[in-house]
Amino acid sequence: MVHDITIEEWLALREKGELTLIDVRSPSEFEEATIPGSVNVPLFDDAERAEVGTLYKKTSIQAAKDRGLEIVSAKLPSFMRTIAAIPGKKAVFCWRGGMRSRTTATLLSLLDIRVARITGGYRAYRKWVVDMLETFEITSDAYVLHGLTGTGKTAILQAMKERGIGVIDLEQLAGHRGSIFGEIGMRAHNQKTFESLLLDELLRLRNEPFVVFEAESKRIGKATLPEFLVRKKEEGAPIWIELPFEERVKRIMQDYRPWEHPEQSLEAFRKIKSRLHTPIAAEIEVCLQEGAFERAVALLLEHYYDPRYVFTATRYDEAERTVIRANSLEEAIESVESIVRDRQKKHLNA
């Protein structure tokens, strides 16, 4: 008999680290979106799924079942061994908790391999994510990092996280750095994946007194921030990071490594080329083509990114800012941590 568990029951087991989720959908379904932390062991590959689906729609349900059984029978030993090798307790799911996950759980039970099945499958999980985000509110106080491009805001967030401070790294969750060059060396997540990863982080941090995140725009790559997070950004205490120009160029070179992605860098630049004065744009393009990346970065900062950011910054009241003028990234990290730690102490002593 198949043992079904709800999304809520799965969450309780996940909190204890007692369950591995197995997504038996096809590789392309898994690639589009899944439950974070799941392992993909597909019952059908993409071509097989399409074939069975076509029979279901154009011939009959029975024809689809027969062909599905034929496909599964041929790969059953390998399929079972793969799942059996996954340690600990396991639960399987498919799109809506239907034929694929039921078949998997039933076959495994015949071999005394006990697995649970997620009721409603990925569709139920996705509905839970959407419902949660619609009503979610961040009750923690927030620090919001601002600064010109290259001031190391992401590196500061990573350092804060390593030091035990609550951090929401929105660029990491989106798989994008938030600029026209933002996908270079990364893989942008779609909205479904972003929201799943974001909700995981929000639930992990729900009891933190403070959270730190970057002042991102509403859209990061393919992902759009929920309204409650946009509001929190506007309400949060702004920390402005300032680093010397040379340090910023160095930071961008380390983060983007344009020499490893010369074609992507050039392609991204051409999307904004028309927004720059023609002689400057021409020089940047030549620099990118010839591998003079440091010079290209300096020109982009001076003539494109800095003027745009300075214009955006005029929306914020200078009196409300905490400004950190650091000579190095390490100094900026220490300053941000000091500010957050001091506030934590005041909160605990209040």
> What's the CATH number where 45 sits?
3.40.250.10
Judge whether 297 and 285 are in contact, CB under 8 Å: no
Residue 126 has φ and ψ, to the nearest 5°, of -60, -40
* Per-residue tokens: 253: 């070179």
Whether 40 and 118 map to the same domain: the answer is yes
- Residue in 7, 43, 64, 94 annotated catalytic: 94
Whether 50 and 141 map to the same domain: the answer is no
pLDDT for 118-166, tens place per residue? 999 999 999 999 999 999 999 999 999 999 999 999 999 999 999 999 9
Whether 77 and 155 map to the same domain: the answer is no
Whether 149 and 26 map to the same domain: the answer is no
> What's the CATH number where 276 sits?
3.40.50
- Give the pLDDT of residue 1: 63
The reply to whether 94 belongs to the active site is yes
Whether 326 and 275 map to the same domain: the answer is yes
Q: Does residue 264 or residue 17 have the better pLDDT?
A: 264
User: Pick from 132, 159, 187: which residue ends a domain?
Assistant: 132
Whether 159 and 281 map to the same domain: the answer is yes
How many distinct structural domains can be found in the chain? 2
Residue type, 114: R
Whether 99 and 195 map to the same domain: the answer is no
What gap in Å lies between CA 224 and CA 159, rounded to an integer? 25
The parent domain of residue 21 ranges over 3-132
What gap in Å lies between CA 322 and CA 198, rounded to an integer? 27
The arithmetic mean of pLDDT across residues 328-349, rounded, is: 86
pTM value > 0.85 = yes
What gap in Å lies between CA 263 and CA 161, rounded to an integer? 33
pLDDT for 243-288, tens place per residue? 999 999 999 999 999 999 999 999 999 999 999 999 999 999 999 9
Indicate the helix (H) or strand (E) that contains 237.
strand 237-242
User: Pick from 97, 132, 167: which residue ends a domain?
Assistant: 132
- Give the pLDDT of residue 109: 86
Whether 204 and 110 map to the same domain: the answer is no
Residue type, 91: A
From the list 333, 341, 307, 287, the residue with the least C-alpha distance to 151 is 333
